[in-house]
Amino acid sequence: MEMRTTAEWLNPVRIGGMAAYFVASASCAAVSARAASRRISRLAAILGAFQVVLVLDITFDLRWKLYEWLQGEAVAYGWYDRRHWPQVGMLTILALLLLTGVTIVRRRFASPPGAALAIEGSLLSLGCWATEIISLHSTDAVLYHPAGPLMIISFVWILASAMTTVGIFRAGIRGRRVL
């Protein structure tokens, strides 16, 4: 097992991801506690739990542990060198599933305003997570391209978290209950 220093582990990219998903999870918790509508309270709780999982994922490198396990299995079975087209296929299926999900969410959560945006932010996070696991070289080259002290992936995480945060607050604003 490779040991890393705190500075190597706690880098700006990781801090950005942990902070973005922490803010989204805290926002969902606040809305869940104060929303008058049971539907929005439940939605906020579910999205908040998902955001907490993403904080833990980034904190403990869970996606990379899963990726390394999958890579080891592919090498062991002799599939690793032939992974390009299956990865393209998986990314295509993922894109279709996400587009279908957005279409369903927009119909089912058209009201209250913001609910669809919150779910779409979480779908973007899920799609980004799956894309990182699939790890096609050309998508990795884009997502892990440096942008100042961060990487492009950091801005995707921040955007997805902001969508969830703004959306859930917008959905929860209508008919808030007082604690």
- Asked if residue 3 is part of any domain, the answer here is no
- Asked if residue 107 is part of any domain, the answer here is yes
Entry pTM: 0.92
Q: What 3-state class would DSSP assign to 126?
A: helix
Residue closest to 157 by CA, chosen among 173, 145, 143: 143
Token digits of residue 27: 């926002």
The pLDDT tens digits for 86-97 are: 999 999 999 999
Please, what is the end-to-end C-alpha distance for the chain in angstroms?
Answer: 48
167, with CB counted inside 10 A (0-12, 13-18, 19+), is: buried
Containing structural domain, residue 36 = 8-173
- Asked if residue 179 is part of any domain, the answer here is no
User: Is there a contact between 161 and 121 (Cβ–Cβ < 8 Å)?
Assistant: yes
Average pLDDT over residues 106-111: 93
The pLDDT tens digits for 39-77 are: 999 999 999 999 999 999 999 999 999 999 999 999 999
- Asked if residue 178 is part of any domain, the answer here is no
User: How many separate domains does the chain show?
Assistant: 1
- Asked if residue 123 is part of any domain, the answer here is yes
Burial 135-159 (b: 16+ CB within 10 A, else e): bbeeeeeebeeeeeebbebbebbbe
